[in-house]
Homo-oligomer: A and B are copies of this chain.
Amino acid sequence: MKPSAAIVHVNRGPLTESIHHGHIAVVNNQGRLLGQLGYAGFLTFARSTAKLLQAIPVIESGAADHYQLSDAEIALLCASHNGEAEHTTAAASILTKLQLNSDHLQCGIHEPWHVPTALRLRAAHSAPTPLHNNCSGKHCGMLTLAAHMNVSHENYLHAAHPVQQQMLNIISEMSGVERAHIKLGIDGCGVPVFGIGIDSLALAYAKLGCPGDLSTKRAAACNRIRRAISKHPHYLAGSDRFDTCLVQVTQGRIIGKMGAEGVFALAAADAGLGIAIKVEDGSERALYPTVVETLLQLDLLSLSELEALSAFHYPLLRNWQGTEVGSIRPQFRLHFV
């Protein structure tokens, strides 16, 4: 059993009612471990934190330029988006450029995460489409790469498909984990997900933020992705979402991405750091308090930035009558190595 650290307390009245455990790794772009909590080598799936890395081959291959993807569309490739009008419009725009349509997306269908959008769809008796799937941007990126590689877009989900082989390559190269050592599972949207240590995920994000040691083409792709997200943070997630707020509040100095099952990865370019976090039980409610607290303990946020993120840092719990009955509080000290 690997060490596991308490990271977040859920408090109600005088008691800590529930406790979340987790793991944190902070590295530089050489992979040197600078800070940790729990077990920095904790092995888990990168889930949607991989999306920023998966956008690299779409750009580096020339596919994004060939199909004239805009910066907003590049940001959408990286998104677990809300399914708001801007998101579905951008996804549809990419597909049009590829002379494809939403029937070619194999991500499956779920209601938009953005509740007002979901309620509007219901009120209009309109069914959600694959465009509303939070992963539709990533799938558009995969279809863009398939078109540019001149390979079939049938079965683009399958691990053996040339596009997915490119995805495995980029995860391997950025994380420093050999292809053969990356564990493969299947994501909620049907594509392969990549099992690596969170220290390796942190390294991939450190390189994404500080790509100076990478090839010129790779560095340019990393810079383009960060610039696109900085210019269009709404396309990374959407209204009221932490990922979008973090980029807006820090004006792109810090770029972070959530993944399902309590994963988060951050590139703090000017500090030269990559950070990865795993809430061990997979809970989202513990994730954003942990991210903000980690940034605070690394001295990466100004007071006004911290203030702007306070609702994510210390969420309040209310009952059905709206009365405050408790709070969620990060409770840990990063170990500096």
Contacts and interface: CB of A to CB of B under 8 A. Distances in A.
Interface of A: 1, 4, 6, 10, 12-15, 17-21, 43-45, 106-110, 122, 133, 183-190, 193, 195, 261-262, 279-283, 286, 319-323, 325-326
A18 B183 contact: no
B319 A282 contact: no
Contacts of A282: 10, 17-18, 283
Given A18-B262, A45-B17, A185 B321 contact: no
Contact of A323 (B17, B190, B279, B325): B190
Given A10-B282, A17-B44, A281-B19, A319 B186 contact: yes
B188 A325 contact: yes
Given A12-B186, A108-B320, A189-B319, 18 more contacts: A10-B261, A13-B183, A13-B193, A14-B183, A14-B184, A14-B185, A14-B195, A15-B195, A17-B45, A17-B261, A18-B44, A18-B281, A21-B21, A21-B281, A108-B319, A122-B122, A185-B326, A282-B283
Contacts of A286: 281
Contacts of A4: 4, 19, 21
Contacts of A18: 44, 261-262, 279-282
Contacts of A319: 108, 186-190
Contacts of A262: 18
| Among A12, A184, A282, residue most surrounded by chain B Cβ atoms (within 10 Å) | A12
A138 B172 CA distance: 55
Nearest to A282: B18
Nearest to A20: B281
A198 to B, nearest CB: 12
A193 B262 CA distance: 29
A43 B15 contact: yes
7 shortest A-B CB distances, which residue pairs?
Answer: A108-B320, A13-B185, A18-B282, A12-B185, A281-B281, A186-B325, A108-B321
A265 to B, nearest CB: 15
| Among A1, A19, A106, A281, residue most surrounded by chain B Cβ atoms (within 10 Å) | A281
Contacts of A106: 321
A127 to B, nearest CB: 14
Contacts of A17: 44-45, 185, 195, 261, 282
A22 to B, nearest CB: 10
Contacts of A122: 122
Contacts of A187: 319, 325
Contacts of A107: 320
Nearest to A318: B188
